[in-house]
Chain A
Amino acid sequence: MKPVQLFCWHFMAYPHLDKDFDQKEYSGWVTVPNRLWDNTKARGLYQEYIDQLAYADELGFDGMVLNEHHQNIYGLMPSPNLIAAALTQCTSRGKIVILGNLLPLHLNPMRVAEEYAMLDQMSDGRLIAGFAPGGGPETFNYDVPSANTREKFWEAADLIVRSWTEDGPFAHEGRYFPLRYVNLWPKPLQKPFPPVWIPGSRSPSTMTEVARRGYCYFLSSRSHGGETHRAQQEFAAVLEKHGDKYHPFRFGILMSAYVAETDQQAREECEEGVWYFLKNCLKGHLRREGRQLTYGPGVPYIPAAAWKEYLKDYKPGRKLLGDAENWDELDASQSIIVGSPETVTRRIHNLIEKAKVGNLLIQFQLGNMPDHLSRKSMKLFAEKVAPPLRDASASQFSKEFPDANIEQPAEVAH
């Protein structure tokens, strides 16, 4: 059994905000004023970030992760496919994970099918294709009406996979994206098609749709603990119901990490970047301050019955990740794991052991963390943390999932 797959995720934050951003500005998302963009400071930023990802490939990470965001300081990748194209030219081993293209924001899903097929060819079959519906901010970014988003999303996702697997031309008779001549050139390189990952936040309906299609489920939560373990169990139960079996590579999680020589040094080195990330980048997304756009009645994409269930446990004004007031609170969320190689290894090991998760997507560069520190942390992780995690997880997975078939099933439900 293969060991845990360790990916380096880069969000490409805007790192040049003034220190008083949080006092002065209402949000880091959607309406964050773009006069704050400073060309003098930002020149070369994309190159710095792309080089960090190429460095991850060099260090032996299993892949690099990108995703799509619009109009914010959290992630400067309105088109992750452009960055992926650059990575096909400066990396050679790791997977290129795009998690994902936000399908309801695309006028025509075939554009995503085409670009992903190109990237799969250009990377010699290293693409992992993520599809995501987008959340609150994206609803406002592109004025996507939310009530039918999920349905529209799955029609688009299924059309893309069908265009990769079925000979064209064929007609797609869909409610949202009817097309007369679906006939993909180029085809993707991987057979039957590139692995598909879908993010979700524990909603049973998303888990069910993912299970039906045999895809990998990625838990989009940034905080970890009991809920991560529960998500894994819920997804395993859903797979079981669909006559399928859970194995660690059907599941992925996101976390952040910073590794330095000692615990104390680690904290000192990363703290500025961490707080920049929490207070600025998460403002409007995972903070109470300002207006939280990510989830709420203004983006009513889940059915009323599901909203009612959500409301039962909803505590207005509850603290979100970015509302952490001190290091202890942040530490307890298990969102950003900071410490010496031994500390980070131990904590991540515990998480893998409990959550039986095979795809670990780790963000190293946080907020305005400088290049040299991001690289040092990545290097220490690759050299001192990754090996013991791989050893331990390989034996854990072999023991717990001796008969797992880790290939993506070829049959896809339409």
Chain B
Amino acid sequence: MSGRIVQVNERNVQVLENGGGEPLLYLHGFADIHSVKESWLPFHEKLAERGRLIAPAHPGCARSDENKDIDTVEDVVFHYLEVLDALRLTRFDLVGTCVGGWIAAEIAVRHPEKIRRLVLIGAAGLFVQGALIGDVFMNAQPEYGSSYASLREMLFSRADHPMALEFFPDGKGELEDELRRYQMLRLSSRVGFKPPYFYNYSLKNRLHRITSPTLVIWGEKDNFVPRAHGETYTEKIPGAKLTTIPGSGHSAHVEKPEEAARLVREFLDK
């Protein structure tokens, strides 16, 4: 693993990289690298075996500078266009989970020519009538003084999943980890707190622009971004395929890392 700081428009962006070969850009979500841990999770290590894995931390997350001018997901997209320029990435595979999946889809509708293959895992970003995206902010406020059980329940298949307990412990975790989680919530509140709540109404009507082969992966029991969102992505992106991971919640890449990584690798290597 090598972490480095890339300068983008006079702001620092922390980028983790691993492996060599064809580039894969990975955009993180809540229960993920940069948001809960500094280093790769098993899922990422599996992906890095097949090529060059590049995972920047969103603005304000980990050691990436905050950008207080970020108001909408559009601002995040432009941030990433500059990151792509700085990294000289012109054509690459793109994998995003959760909020990162939303950003990935927004990049793909604007620059379909840059994307070789696209994978969305539990991606937010769509307005789907009758299938509200969960309130991660309310659930991040502790219950009974110190319990984050309902947050774990939202981001995983169940509140007592060992990885859920490791990433979102009750009480107070390690200071650095607490800070990571806070930073991710802060970035997310910029783009996902107000209505529209973690979505861009127009995105649905732009998805037909995507030209890359696309795989949509959803946990069977996603309590944060309902499965109907995965179905909508699949329906609107030409040729997209939806695969469900049984027994998993929202964070499939953490709960079923082997299976999720295998699906992604098989799809990318096709």
**B-contacting residues of A (Cβ < 8 Å)?**
136, 139-140, 143-148, 151, 288-293, 296-300, 303-304, 307-308, 311-312, 314-318
Contact = CB atoms under 8 A, between A and B. Distances in A.
Contact of B190 (A145, A291, A296, A314): A145
B90 interface: no
B83 interface: no
Interface residues of B, number: 33
B71 to A, nearest CB: 8
B68 A151 contact: yes
Interface stretch (B114-122, B174-182, B204-212, B220-228): B174-182
A293 B179 contact: no
Given A147-B186, A300-B186, A317-B146, A311 B138 contact: no
Contacts of A304: 60, 66, 179, 182-183, 186
B172 interface: yes
Given A143-B193, A145-B193, A311-B172, A296 B179 contact: no
B138 A307 contact: no
Contacts of B187: 147
Given A143-B195, A146-B189, A316 B145 contact: yes
B175 A308 contact: yes
A32 to B, nearest CB: 14
Nearest to A293: B141
14 contacts: A140-B137, A140-B138, A143-B197, A144-B194, A290-B144, A296-B141, A297-B141, A299-B137, A307-B179, A307-B182, A311-B172, A315-B172, A316-B171, A317-B145
Nearest first, the 8 A-B pairs at minimum CB distance are A298-B140, A288-B145, A317-B145, A316-B146, A145-B193, A300-B186, A316-B171, A317-B146
A143 B145 CA distance: 23
Nearest to A308: B179
Interface centre among B136, B170, B187, B194 (most CB of A within 10 A): B194
Of the listed residues B145, B171, B178, the one surrounded by the most CB atoms of chain A closer than 10 A to its CB is B145
A292 B146 CA distance: 10
A297 B146 CA distance: 12
Given A296-B140, A298-B141, A317-B145, A147 B68 contact: yes
B171 A291 contact: no
A316 B138 CA distance: 17
Contacts of B189: 145-147, 299-300
A300 B182 contact: yes
Given A293-B141, A297-B178, A316-B146, 14 more contacts: A140-B138, A143-B193, A143-B197, A144-B193, A145-B193, A146-B186, A288-B146, A289-B144, A291-B138, A291-B141, A297-B140, A307-B179, A307-B182, A311-B178
A145 B171 CA distance: 25
A312 B175 contact: yes
A165 B190 CA distance: 33
A136 B60 contact: no
B167 to A, nearest CB: 13
B139 interface: yes
Interface string B132-155: 000011111111111000000000
Q: Is the interface of A mostly helix, strand, loop or mixed?
A: loop
Contacts of B68: 147-148, 151
Contacts of A297: 140-141, 178, 181-182, 185
A318 B142 CA distance: 12
B107 to A, nearest CB: 22
Interface string B158-174: 00000000000011100
Contacts of A300: 182, 185-186, 189
B257 to A, nearest CB: 26
Contacts of A317: 144-146, 171
Contacts of A307: 179, 182
A390 B111 CA distance: 71
Nearest to A318: B145
A311 B141 CA distance: 14
Contacts of B142: 291-292, 296, 316
Given A146-B189, A298-B185, A308-B179, A314 B141 contact: no
Nearest to A176: B71
A311 B174 CA distance: 10
A193 B60 CA distance: 39
Nearest to A137: B141
Contacts of B140: 296-298
Nearest to B150: A291
Contact of B193 (A146, A303, A311): A146
A290 B193 CA distance: 22
Nearest to A145: B193
A148 B69 CA distance: 9
Contacts of B144: 288-290, 317
Contacts of B71: 148
Contacts of A316: 142, 145-146, 170-172
B138 A298 contact: yes
A151 B141 CA distance: 23
Nearest to B190: A147
Interface in B75-126: none
A290 B150 CA distance: 12
